[in-house]
Amino acid sequence: MTQPPAGTSGEKPGLSRGLDRVLRTALFLVPFGVLGNLALSWFATDHDKLRELGRPDLRYLYLALFLALFPWVTNTLRLLIWARFIGHRVSFRDMFRVTLGAELSSSVFPTSSGGEVFRWGMMVQKGIPQGHAASIVTLGYIEDMAFFLVAIPVSVFLSRAWELPVLASMGRELQGQALVVIGIGIAAVLVVRLLFAAVLRGTLGQRPRAKGLRFTARLKRKFRRTWQDFRSVHRLVIRRGKSRFLLTFLITAVQWSCRYSVVTALAFFLGARVDPVLFFLLQWVIFTAMMFIPTPGATGGAEAAFYLVYEALLPAGLIGIATAGWRMLTFYVQLALGSIIFLAFNIADARTRARRRREAGGEAP
């Protein structure tokens, strides 16, 4: 099932333009987000309580930063393992760029949209067939689901989380919002379906009908080819990929443990001694709640959810700086650093393409 080397000649125009827009939006959002976090930290923090802390242990802050950024590495390794297992000779740099592109896109779009479309599109751009790329994305979903099916019940049991009234109130709110989101999604699908059916019937004219029929035929061909690739990959994983799935499952466990432990390291930095298992579980609750917040990167709603959940669990007067610090580490630092790295990759690739064109021009007779 070996494939030819992934292409590196350049990005597809549509994807490239989309990534450029994401990058510009990300760079635009960072200053405003940082200023907002500084304002929240200043007005919601008891400055007398902050002075009582003395000199906090900076090692916990460095640990929190490491825990926030290390998931980039684990996510890249997961993509790399499956891409090479299928037979694509991609590099760590290729998959790291895919990871960054997905992270940036999920930061400037509503969290529910995720970065899967960009992850899939960038893998296709690297020469991975559409079905194979879809399989890699799906395997990531399965790994995440398998981990949380184990981790969440264990966390609930060890932390006795059912005793927290804030979780019950958040559950009721999320249930109501989930019904609204599902209702809107179903209504949107029905509207699109009815409109497309009208186009194919010729209700809107023969020219739109002809374009609709051509589009449908192309879509069916692509879907058939993608589905065949998708099925072949999953049969291969079931037959020969069980050990790799175990490896990626362990990497997945490290990834989510790091991401959901940032707040614990931050709490220790602020002088609070907390239950890491409970704080892991509460991070899962917050990141799940962010899926129902329609703002880019769940801006505003993420801070409100954190404040609501942790207000009674962190030292009085420090919830403001804790909220701002958590959001800074898990969002704005990643957004700023990821944008810079991604921009550096773009510049390096542009220089490589320019050099190759010059070399090709010099070799021409």
Residue 75 and residue 99 in contact, taking contact as beta carbons nearer than 8 Å = yes
What is the pLDDT of the chain when averaged over all its residues? 77
Q: Which residue has the higher pLDDT, 112 or 352?
A: 352
pTM: 0.74
| Mean pLDDT of the 222-240 span | 69
Domain boundaries, position 220: 13-349
| Mean pLDDT of the 109-126 span | 73
With 60 as the cut, is the pLDDT of residue 175 above it?
no
Q: Which residue has the tokens 């879809």?
A: 134
pLDDT band at 96, cuts 50/70/90? very high
pLDDT of residue 357: 83
Beta-carbon contacts of residue 258 (< 8 Å; ≥ 6 apart): 66, 67, 68, 70, 71, 74
With a pLDDT cut of 90, the percent of the chain lying above it is 20
Reading the block at residue 219, the tokens are 């879509």
With 60 as the cut, is the pLDDT of residue 170 above it?
no
Does any domain span residue 361?
no
pLDDT of residue 63: 96
With 80 as the cut, is the pLDDT of residue 333 above it?
yes
pLDDT of residue 253: 96
With 50 as the cut, is the pLDDT of residue 9 above it?
no
**120 phi and psi, to 5 degrees?**
-65, -45
Q: How many structural domains is the chain composed of? A: 1
Does any domain span residue 323?
yes
pLDDT band at 201, cuts 50/70/90? confident
| Mean pLDDT of the 157-164 span | 76
With 70 as the cut, is the pLDDT of residue 143 above it?
yes
pLDDT of residue 22: 58
What are the CA-CA distances from residue 180 to residues 96, 131, 174, 184, 295 (Å)? 36, 32, 10, 6, 16
- The predicted-structure confidence for 253-277, as pLDDT tens digits, reads as follows 999 999 999 999 999 998 888 889 9
pLDDT of residue 10: 43
Does any domain span residue 358?
no
Does any domain span residue 91?
yes
With 60 as the cut, is the pLDDT of residue 209 above it?
yes
What are the CA-CA distances from residue 163 to residues 156, 166, 168, 176, 339 (Å)? 10, 9, 9, 22, 41
With 90 as the cut, is the pLDDT of residue 150 above it?
yes
Does any domain span residue 357?
no
pLDDT of residue 11: 47
